[in-house]
Structure 1
Amino acid sequence: MNGIEVFDGHNDAVQYISDYKPGGRDFLARSEAGHLDLPRAIEGHLVGGLFALYAYPEHKPENDLTQTSDGYEVRYAEALNEDYARRLIDAQLHAMNGLIRRSDGRMRLATSVDDINAARASSAFAVVLHMEGAEAIGPDLDYLHVLHAAGLRSLGPVWSRPNIFGYGVPFAYPRSPDTGPGLTDAGRNLVKSCNALGVMIDLSHLNERGFWDVAALSTAPLVATHACAHALCPSTRNLTDRQLDAIRDTDGVIGFNLAVYDIRTDAHLDADTPLDMVVRHIEYLIDRMGADRVALGSDFDGTVISRHIRDASGLPHLFDAMRKAGFDEPTLRKFAFDNWLRVFGLTWPS
């Protein structure tokens, strides 16, 4: 297998690392649990990625998944208290800094394109901090500046629940992503502040009206770090052709989500999803948006992926399947690495 180097646009590994979760996985040791640790990243030629800080709700709704006659609906989680969310984010940030220190140079915090390239040149794994849902940030946005100073370079204003900044898109199939109101006034201020700081805005969990509110306000390329095409799988979490076109027209990027239920036309939670089905979805995105605007946003440790990839060590299987489908090497390199660095360069201050 050709060892093409990969930068990944989204993972949820922070939630499972031993530095944050007692009894969790040591990210520096190989595990068979979950999708991602440093040894498996190295085996899969993964050289860096966006690591999501995320505050889980204190109480998960009971019976939150409802099977419908033709699909499913998932109830919103409750809105989070700002102080509670901030405690969790502070603890995750502390854990990630501790993990990077423990790595003895094998992992590096990256806050610029130069940092990512320097880490790659020295065979270190580049960690870019992302936050999924801005509940820990108050309306004064002071904590946004604290996080930026600590290295945050990507932010999703909402997860799939409401907060003071806007309305996340609930999980449902088949359903339009146009599920309710968009950004609030506080959300508009957040977008402007992210633009001023050079924090990338992630549209992945916003509903459609929120997406268009960001598109009308933002001076940066539009980015969804982990999503798929609604035309192929009409999940609320997927983007319509019109949304894909908007990302294309701003020279942005969509990170292709490996979640099988957002790839499959039937949205089944089936790990036996074949790689040719995965590749056909990638083909649709590239045909629609161009080879410069589709990258990988795996959602490792946050979803169910095809067993034919299994985990980060199996990424070469995906690239081999893409080659067999006719993708050339320049397109593979763009999908694997170059497109993320291009959009970072357009978003982050030099």
Structure 2
Amino acid sequence: MTKHLIISAQKLPVIDLNAANAPIIFDGHNDVLLHLYRAGGLSASDSFLTGRDGALDLVKAKASGFGGGFFAVYIPSPLDKAFKMEEMAKPSYDLPLPDAIDWEDALPVAISIAAILFDLENKGALKICRSAADIRATLAANQIAAIFHIEGAEAIDPDLHTLEVLYQAGLRSIGPVWSRPTIFGNGVPFRYPSDPDIGKGLTDHGLRLVKRCDELGVMIDLSHLNAAGFWDVARHSTKPLIATHSNAHSICPHSRNLTDAQLAAIKDSDGMVGLNFAVAFLRDDGRMIPDVPLEQMLRHLDYLIEHLGEDRVGLGSDYDGAIVPQDVTTVADLPNLRLAMAQHGYDDVLMNKLCHGNWLRVLEKTWGS
């Protein structure tokens, strides 16, 4: 087990990106497309190229060694964000889930958000990758490699026709649910303390979705699924089990985190977990407070490595979708995390695996190329 080193909550120095312990980071989850959509859609996409007031853009990425990752298409619910943040800062909470969203309402929004991703590709800001070979080539060319991902399958119809069309457009990863219910299954609420064993599992539509995604080579993301849905995927999918942005329930007993039994199933499938930077899923007390030292992120990484092995752990930041620790507020701060990992005792081989190598491995196994 890697030794623990207490990291100061003070801002850490930025390391040389050309150093051996500073590999490119490929990330399991971000929500920048939603922010651009809310800021004006296609008319706001230029801010990604020139620099924006948010966690992720091309300027920050190039300066910090961010190589790309999963770009989420997420259908927003009407939400009182101030109320949510206030509640989640309390010692315990149980936020009501938003109502389900009908396919007819979700599809136009999903298409509009996906159009931003394609606009960014057209402008040369990134490349949408459809295979692991695409990702490798894109990273080698010093471009941002983007995976077209859907977080919550409200935009997919019961007959899965939309899935077929979006796959042809480049969709390669999907979460059957965000936390609210869909016709495919149920997610977990934002509840602390709680385990994820909440509600029923996948519906018949959900089981058909899993089967067709396996056939197409679309990755199923287990993040946000409740325990029953997780185990349904584990029983019916032939692919590695993957949670793009989740943490260890034994450290932070939040409904969104993975239990030891779930981690064991992911290991047995040769799957993977991406460390979520959201502070409520990192802190022992589950509170949405950004005063979280990098040591706490390393505790989760150590635990995940212990239970999954060095080949099945990566990063899944949730940038632009969550409150994150103060030392990694934006992509520009990622060198702070790499330095903390190196000082903690992770050697060059492990650093490369955690930062991008493990994602490439599991996607190659899942997609078949």
- TM score, norm. by length of structure 1: 0.95
The 1-side partners of 2:80 and 2:158 are apart by 26
Task: Give 2:178's match in structure 1, choosing from 146, 152, 159.
Answer: 159
Contact 1:28-1:39 within 8 A present in 2 as well: yes
Find the aligned partners of 1:330 and 1:215 in 2 and give their Cα distance.
30
Shift in CA distance, 313/67, structure 1 to aligned 2, threshold 3 Å: closer
Aligned pairs, number: 346
Q: Say which SS state the counterpart of residue 287 (structure 2) adopts.
A: coil
Work out whether 1:325 is the aligned partner of 2:339.
no
| Equivalent-residue separation in structure 1 for 2:215 and 2:88 (angstroms) | 43
Write the mapping of 1:10-159 to structure 2, written as runs, cut at 5 A.
10-17=29-36, 20=41, 26-31=47-52, 33-57=53-77, 59-60=78-79, 66=87, 70-103=91-124, 106-159=125-178
| Partner Cα separation in structure 2 for residue 290 and residue 69 of structure 1 | 34
More strand per residue: 1
Offset of residue 69 of structure 1? 8.0
- Could you report, residue by residue, the CA deviation over 1:99-126 in whole angstroms, capped at 9, with x for unpaired residues? 21112xx411110011111111211111
Identity %: 45
Per the TM alignment, residue 60 of structure 1 is displaced from its structure 2 partner at its CA by 3.1
Q: What is the match of residue 171 of structure 1? A: 190
Q: Per-residue CA shift, 1:50-74, capped at 9, x if unaligned?
A: 00001112x3379667579841111
Distance 1:68 1:40, change over 3 A: closer
Q: Distance in 1 between matches of 2:321 and 2:89?
A: 23
TM-superposed deviation, 1:92: 1.0
Partners in 1 of 2:202 and 2:363 — Cα distance? Answer: 24
What is the SS of the residue equivalent to 2:48? Answer: coil
Distance in 2, matches of 1:157 and 1:79, equals: 13
| 1:247-290 CA-partner distances (Å, limit 9, x unpaired) | 11111000100011101101122212111121111111111111
Deviation at 1:21, TM superposition (A): 6.7
247, 250, 254: which is aligned to 1:228?
A: 247
CA displacement at 1:42 relative to structure 2: 1.3
Determine if contact 2:42/2:119 at 8 Å carries over to the other structure: no
Do 2:197 and 2:228's aligned partners in 1 also have CA atoms closer than 8 Å?
Answer: yes
Match for residue 278 of structure 2 among 250, 259, 262: 259
Superposition map of 1:278-293 within 5 A: 278-293=297-312
Q: Does 1:303 align with 2:322?
A: yes
Instruction: Write 1 or 2 for the structure with the bigger share of helix.
Output: 2
1:291 and 1:19, CA in 2 relative to 1: closer, same or farther beyond 3 A?
A: farther
* Residues 45 and 260 of structure 1: CA distance in aligned 2, closer, same or farther (over 3 Å): same
Unaligned runs of 5+ in 1: none
Q: 1:191 aligns with which of 210, 228, 252?
A: 210
CA spacing shift, 1:181–1:130, aligned 2, 3 Å: same
Which ranges of structure 2 fall in alignment gaps of 5 or more residues?
1-14
User: Partners in 2 of 1:139 and 1:231 — Cα distance?
Assistant: 36
Q: Offset of 1:86 from its aligned partner?
A: 0.3
Partner of 1:340: 359
**What do the CA deviations read for 1:74-94 (whole angstroms, capped 9, x no partner)?**
110110011110001111111
Aligned-residue offset at 1:25? 7.0
What TM-score comes out, normalization by structure 2 length? 0.90
| Secondary structure class of the residue paired with 1:49 | strand
The answer to whether the Cα contact below 8 Å between 2:276 and 2:315 also exists between their aligned partners in 1 is: yes
